[in-house]
Amino acid sequence: MVELALSRIKGLQKARKNQFLRIWGISATIGNINEALDVLIPDKNTKRIIVKADLEKKILIKSILPDDIETLPWAGHLGLKLAHKLLPIIKKSKTTLIFINTRGQSEMWYQHLLNIEPELAGRIAIHHGSIDFELRNWIEDALHTGLLKAVIATSSLDLGVDFKPVDTVIQVGSPKGVARFLQRAGRSGHSPYETSKIYFLPTHALELVEAAAIKEAAKTNDIESREPFIMVFDTLIQYLVTLAIGDGFDDKIIYKEIKNTHAFKLILEEEWVWVMQFITSGGDSLSAYNEFKKVTKDEDGLWKVKSRQLAMRHRLHIGTIVSDAMLKVKFITGGYIGMIEEYFVTRLKAGDNFRLAGRVLEFIQVKDMMVLVRISKQKNAISPSWNGGRLPLSSNLGAVLRKKYNEALDKTHQDEELDTVYPLFLLQEKRSHVPRNDELLIELIHNKEGFHLYAYPFEGRLVHEVLAALVAYRLSKLLPISFSLAMNDYGFELLSETEIPMDESIAYGVFSTKNLTEDIKLSINSTEMAKRKFRDIACISGLVFQGYPGKYIANKHLQSSAGLFFNVFSDYDKHNLLLRQAYDEVFYQQLEEPRLAAALQRIQESRIIITNPKSFTPLSFPIKVDSLRENMSSEELEQRIFRMKAESEKIK
Amino acid sequence: MTITIQAEELVLDKERALYIPKYQLLAISDLHLGKSAHFRRAGLQVPSTITQSDLQRLDILIKKYNPITLLVTGDMFHHGLNTDIADFSAWRKQHQNLDFLLVKGNHDRLSNTDYAEMNIEIHEPSFCLGPFCFIHDAPKYTDEQLYPISGHIHPGVSVIGKARQRLKFPCFYFGNDYAILPAFSLFTGLYSIRPKTGERIFAITPKNVIEV
């Protein structure tokens, strides 16, 4: 979006014969700074320069260790068990920022800190994206003046702001990337020559290994690259309609402008024609879009949106961060508190209590798309969940993590984290095996739930998602079988109700690089990965309309879902570029095929160890409890239903 | 699939339709004609081929069962008149001999002359035949002794198996007090229902109708 906006500003400058334009990009934590320059200013003939401060930023990283590894659960994201260890840190610091990965958990942490240390009342605050704007401003002001002792925050306080009194940062749970961790550390001691101080609080046992890995990556300044987006047609469509609701646009001029951006320099003439058709006539003539109305050519030759209603709807939809429909929360006596998701509201009954912005609120009713509440006398209440994305482990970290596993076993390290977690490694070794750098561990576990297969390539969540689908697909070619798939940053799980065929030769076969491209395509097609990607694409390109604020009923006739559009396009308009974008995003962004090929190559050269543990192991347990699952099946649908029915009757 | 309800034989077709041989009546629900054009007018890209394919499916059903009467239990038209409806008018002219009955639903807001022009017989709030009473939205209770057959909610059912397996299908629902037909149009979503004991649910897969 920034690239497109820049291209327009440049275009306007050129039209006014004013060639003088200076573009500045500022970043502290980006690994591929040269590529970033190319994205910002693709024209190599322009004068471009990278300015780097020759200043070493001192960062002190310390893990908060449990007295005993048994204190820490094997899986989890909350980490409240170690909360008491934060109190002395908060006490001795001037002001502490506590970063929590999700909004829902930050609400729980706020409550918990007040419960264990009532003296903090009035001196700590909570800050996240769903808290009302004015309230957040007040907190930021209070941070500047040093009024607050501690603030619990999510990524809402990651960037840009500089609060002088902050001298300590605490990160709860894995930050999943070196860049984000350093960014957050930099919130403390935020001036040259000062030292940034950050504590890491693990939420489950294996996160201690991640802590050791992050420390090492931070030391060697091994910061992740940020891959630029290319050929994002949903964003292009939104941009063009935005131009059309303004003064209108000349398609020839704009085509030239976007052709000069990094994101769309590879766009083909026919793709541009399709995008123009999509916003003017609905799509190509083959798929028949009668009566379609959106962008039309005006008498002055510019493309415009004529309907005021359409323009208003588009304005409400501008942006590329997709979230679920949100409702504002308001006191019945007046005053806004923040926002919660519509989905969460539908589960509330009058009199129910929930927590927002650190307060316990009693739900009264929804009126005019506003959630009306009053302060509750209850102490405890449920926390709303916001449907944010999950952060996958960056690829840089995966490799360091594998190395740390080896060091922990061999005791060739100086990390106190690894010493603490060592008993867990022993348990893993006793029940199954701890994989070494040149090994791939596969665990087969059979229990009441079914037959589980766990594999641990340590390549990060996104790669495992594709890898799990690939392995499931290849296994399902051997016999008719249905799987449910789960994954985390260490490995993935295939779960089936029938025994999964597996031995060494099958293992090498399903992790082979042979026919890779073709097999990946087929495995992506047989899961819902692309369909899930399409959810965001449908929102950004304006296909799915979330409604006007304050007007619920009026848009009922236009209600639909991204999933429905995905099916409709798949059935009736296969050439739709948005559909292709969904598949491409799985294929290129998520999968990074070279990385997957490299991983498989590594596995081919590794020893594959297959174990049959009697119960879950420290490695498998966190994956088992993960709830986000994919399905894959090679069974006949009717067969599958009969079998599922027969089983459920057995249970009864 | 053929089942017996209220001592009458009913045929459940995988094309989301119900046929009663005794009365030679074909019943469908929630056709939502004009929905895709309504979306297009509002600047949302939905192909018109979707309406055409709904009408083609209806053609195939008529050829298969050769009914005297086609009954729509509500939400036949999504909004106002538009090109989708024009497509339907043309289709209607090809089936002049067919009695076309509509039990009005919440979406059906065309004028009586519009219905008359398309040769559609209107029934409000219900149309009763034998032991059945066709109505758009099933009443919570009825004074009548008749068994209501409704539509409106676009029912779907999840089949859940071991090892966290889950599948979702459109379905027919036959409860103790009333029945619900699946939405006929393919451009509709699903509302999940959970059967209680004694109630019968028939899932519609791409190839079959299966009791679950």
Burial of A505 (C-beta count, 10 Å sphere; 0-12/13-18/19+): exposed
Q: How far apart are CA A422 and CA B144, in angstroms?
A: 73
Q: What is the ipTM of this complex?
A: 0.83
CATH number where B125 lies: 3.60.21
Q: What is the overall mean pLDDT for chain A?
A: 83
Q: What is the pLDDT of residues B183-207, one digit of tens each?
A: 999 888 888 888 888 889 999 988 8
Tell me: pLDDT of B166 over 50. Answer: yes
B129: tokens are 């035949």
* Predicted local confidence at residue A553, as pLDDT: 40
* Chain A interface includes B22 (CB < 8 A): no
Q: What is the pLDDT of residues A520-529, one digit of tens each?
A: 888 877 777 7
B1 and A CB contact within 8 Å: no
Which residues of B are less than 8 Å from A568 in CB distance?
46-47, 50, 186-187
Over 70: is that where the pLDDT of A500 sits?
A: yes
How high is the pLDDT of residue A591?
63
Which pLDDT tens digit goes with each residue over A531-580?
A: 878 888 888 888 876 665 555 444 555 666 788 888 888 888 888 889 88
- Strongest mean pLDDT among A315-324, A417-426, B64-73: B64-73
Parent domain of B35: 2-151+177-187
The first and second tokens of residue A509, run together, are 């076969």
- The domains of chain A, with CATH numbers, are 2-49+228-315 (no CATH), 58-219 (3.40.50.300), 326-375 (no CATH), 432-531+581-647 (no CATH)
Residues in chain B within 8 Å Cβ distance of A631: 165-166
Of B179, B175, B169, residue with least CA distance to B204? B169
pLDDT value of residue A652: 44
| Residues of A whose CB is below 8 A from B197 | none
In the predicted structure, residue B70 carries a pLDDT above the cut 50: yes
pLDDT at residue A508, as a whole number: 93
> Is the residue at B202 inside a domain?
no
In this structure, is residue B194 part of a structural domain? no
Nearest CA in chain A to B189: A564
Residue B24 located in a structural domain? yes
Residue A115 CA to residue A110 CA, distance in Å, equals 9
What is the predicted pLDDT for the residue at A651?
A: 47
The whole-number average pLDDT for the span A405-426 is: 83
Q: Is the pLDDT of residue A158 over 90?
A: no
Angle at A247 between CA A245 and CA A249, to 5 degrees: 90
φ/ψ bin of A631: left (φ > 0), alpha (ψ from -120 to 50), beta (otherwise)? beta
Contacts of residue A268, Cβ cutoff 8 Å, sequence gap at least 6:
none
Supply A358's token pair: 């650190």
Q: For residues B189 and B183, what is the distance between their CA atoms, to the nearest angstrom? A: 9
- Start-to-end CA distance of chain A, whole Å, equals 55
Task: Give φ, ψ of A610 to 5 degrees.
Answer: -110, 125
Q: Sign of the CA dihedral B149, B151, B152, B157?
A: positive
Q: Is B162 on the interface with A (CB under 8 A)?
A: yes
Residue B139 counted as domain residue: yes
Q: DSSP for A248-316? A: -B-HHHHHHHHHTSSTTTT--HHHHHHHHHHHHTSS-GGG--TT--SEEE-TTS-EEE--HHHHHHHHT
**pLDDT confidence tier of residue B4, bands split at 50, 70 and 90:** very high
**Which of B41, B49, B53 comes nearest A293 by C-beta?**
B41
Does A639 have pLDDT greater than 70? Answer: yes
By CB atoms closer than 10 A (0-12, 13-18, 19+), residue A253 is middle
Is B77 inside a domain boundary?
A: yes
Partner-chain contact B160 A644, CB within 8 Å: yes
- The predicted-structure confidence for A42-78, as pLDDT tens digits, reads as follows 888 888 888 887 767 788 889 988 888 777 777 766 7
Please report the number of interchain residue pairs, chain A to chain B, with beta-carbon separation below 8 angstroms: 133
pLDDT at A181: 86
State how far the Cα of B180 lies from the Cα of B134, in Å rounded to an integer.
10
**Which residue on chain B is closest to A449 by alpha carbon?**
B163
User: What confidence score (pLDDT) does residue A552 get?
Assistant: 46
pLDDT > 90 in chain A, percent: 19
Q: How far is B39 from chain A (nearest CA, A)?
A: 6
Residue A346 has pLDDT above 50, yes or no: yes
The reported pLDDT for the residue numbered A548 is 59
Do residues A502 and A442 lie in contact, with contact meaning Cβ atoms separated by under 8 Å? yes
- The verdict on residue B193 lying in a domain is no
Q: Do A572 and B203 touch (CB under 8 A)?
A: no
Report the half-sphere exposure of A191 (CA within 13 A, side-chain side).
5
B174 backbone dihedrals φ, ψ, rounded to 5°: -125, 100
3-state secondary structure of A394: coil
Residues of A in Cβ contact (< 8 Å) with B167: 637, 640-641, 644
pLDDT at residue number A507: 92
Give the DSSP H or E segment for A180.
helix A178-185
In a domain, B9, yes or no: yes
Whether the pLDDT of residue A41 is over 60: the answer is yes
User: Residue A490: its pLDDT value, please?
Assistant: 86
Per-residue pLDDT averaged across A163-187, rounded?
Answer: 85
Residues A302 and A246: beta-carbon distance below 8 Å? no
- For chain B, helix, strand, coil in percent to 5 are 20, 35, 45
Q: What is the pLDDT of residues A379-394, one digit of tens each?
A: 777 777 665 555 666 6
Is B164 inside a domain boundary? no
Q: Is the pLDDT of residue A610 over 90?
A: yes
For residue A629, what is the nearest residue in chain B, using CA coordinates?
B164
- Domain total of chain B: 1
Matching residue, tokens 């690994």: A31
pTM over 0.80: no
| pLDDT level of residue A286 (50, 70, 90 thresholds) | low
pLDDT of residue A629: 65
Give ∠ CA B162-B165-B169 in degrees, rounded to 5.
125
How much is the pLDDT for A288?
Answer: 67
From B48, B16, B15, B17, select the one nearest B34 (Cα to Cα). B48
B163, A496: Cβ pair inside 8 Å? yes
Model confidence at B60: pLDDT above 90:
yes
| Cβ-defined contact of A282 to B163 (cutoff 8 Å) | no
Inter-chain CB proximity A645 and B44 less than 8 Å: no
